[in-house]
Structure 1
Amino acid sequence: MTRPGTTLFDLGKPSPRHPGLDGARGLAVVAMVLGHTLDAVLSPAARATPWVQQYWELRGITAPLFLLVAGFAVVAALSRQSAGESFGRRARRALLLLFLGYFLHWPGWDTVHALGWGVELRSRLFAFDTLQSIGVSLLVGAAVLVLARGTWTRALALAALAVAIPLGSVFMWNAATGWPLELQQAVGMPGSRFPLFPWAGYFFAGALAAHLLRLLRPGWPQGLALVALGAGLLLLTRRLPADWSPTSAWLVAFRVSEGLLVLGAVNLLPQMFSRPLAPLGRASLWLYVLHLPVVYGWAGTPGLASRVGPTQELLPALGIGFGLLALCFAIARLGSLVRGGERRTAEAPAWRARPVPMDGTALRSGQRI
Structure 2
Amino acid sequence: MRRGYLDGARGLAVLVMIQIHAFNCWVVPEDRGTRLFGLTRLIGGYPAVLFLFLAGVAAALAGERERERGALGDEVRRRGVRRALQVLGYAVLFRVWMLASGSFARPADLLRVDVLNCIGVSLLLVALALAAPTAGTRLAAAIGLAVAVAALTPLAWDAPAVKVLPWPLRGYLSGREPEALFPVFPWAAFAAAGAAAGVMLARARTLGHEGLVIALLAAAGGAAIPAALYADRHLPAVYAAYDFWYTSPSYTALKAGVAALVLAAAYLFDKVPGPSALRQLGRTSLLVYWVHVEIVYGQWVAPWARGRLAIGEATRGVVLLMLAMLALSIIRTRVGEWWSARPSRAAAAA
When the two structures are superposed, what TM-score results if normalisation uses the length of structure 1? Answer: 0.78
Sequence identity (%): 30
Corresponding residue of 2:153: 169
Pairing of 1:56-71 with structure 2 (within 5 A): 56-71=41-56
Structure 1 letter corresponding to 2:185: F
Q: Deviations over 1:170-204 (max 9, x none)?
A: 33342221112221122224131101111110000
Corresponding residue of 1:228: 219
Provide the secondary structure at the position in 2 that maps to 1:179. coil
1:187 aligns with 2:188: no
TM-superposed deviation, 1:293: 1.2
**C-alpha separation in 2, matches of 1:303 and 1:23:** 28
TM-superposed deviation, 1:313: 2.9
Mark the runs of 5 or more structure 2 residues left unpaired by the alignment.
Answer: 234-242
Q: 2:325 aligns with which of 328, 351, 358?
A: 328
Corresponding residue of 1:81: 68
Q: Structure 1 residues 149 and 349 mapped into 2: Cα distance closer, same or farther (>3 Å)?
A: farther
Pairing of 1:72-111 with structure 2 (within 5 A): 72-77=57-62, 78-79=64-65, 80-82=67-69, 84=72, 90-106=80-96, 107-108=99-100
**C-alpha separation in 2, matches of 1:50 and 1:342:** 46
Q: Which runs of 4+ in 1 moved over 6 A?
A: none
Corresponding residue of 2:285: 284
Pairing of 1:125-140 with structure 2 (within 5 A): 125-140=110-125
Provide the secondary structure at the position in 2 that maps to 1:105. helix
Corresponding residue of 1:39: 24
Q: Which has the higher helix share?
A: 2
Contact 1:166 1:201 in 2 (8 A): yes
Corresponding residue of 1:12: none
Q: Structure 1 residues 105 and 303 mapped into 2: Cα distance closer, same or farther (>3 Å)?
A: farther
**C-alpha separation in 2, matches of 1:23 and 1:317:** 25
Note the aligned Cα RMSD (angstroms): 2.9
Q: Structure 1 residues 95 and 51 mapped into 2: Cα distance closer, same or farther (>3 Å)?
A: same
Q: Deviations over 1:301-359 (max 9, x none)?
A: 3554x411223233321221222233234334434444444444457776797xxxxxx
Corresponding residue of 1:317: 314
Mark the runs of 5 or more structure 1 residues left unpaired by the alignment.
Answer: 1-14, 116-120, 354-369
Provide the secondary structure at the position in 1 that maps to 2:95. coil
**C-alpha separation in 2, matches of 1:103 and 1:28:** 22
Larger radius of gyration: 1
TM-superposed deviation, 1:281: 0.6
Q: Deviations over 1:74-114 (max 9, x none)?
A: 223432435656656544443332223223333239965x7
**C-alpha separation in 2, matches of 1:110 and 1:163:** 39
When the two structures are superposed, what TM-score results if normalisation uses the length of structure 2? Answer: 0.82
Larger mean CA deviation between 66-75 and 331-340 belongs to: 331-340
Corresponding residue of 1:159: 143
TM-superposed deviation, 1:61: 1.6
**C-alpha separation in 2, matches of 1:284 and 1:110:** 23
TM-superposed deviation, 1:237: 0.6
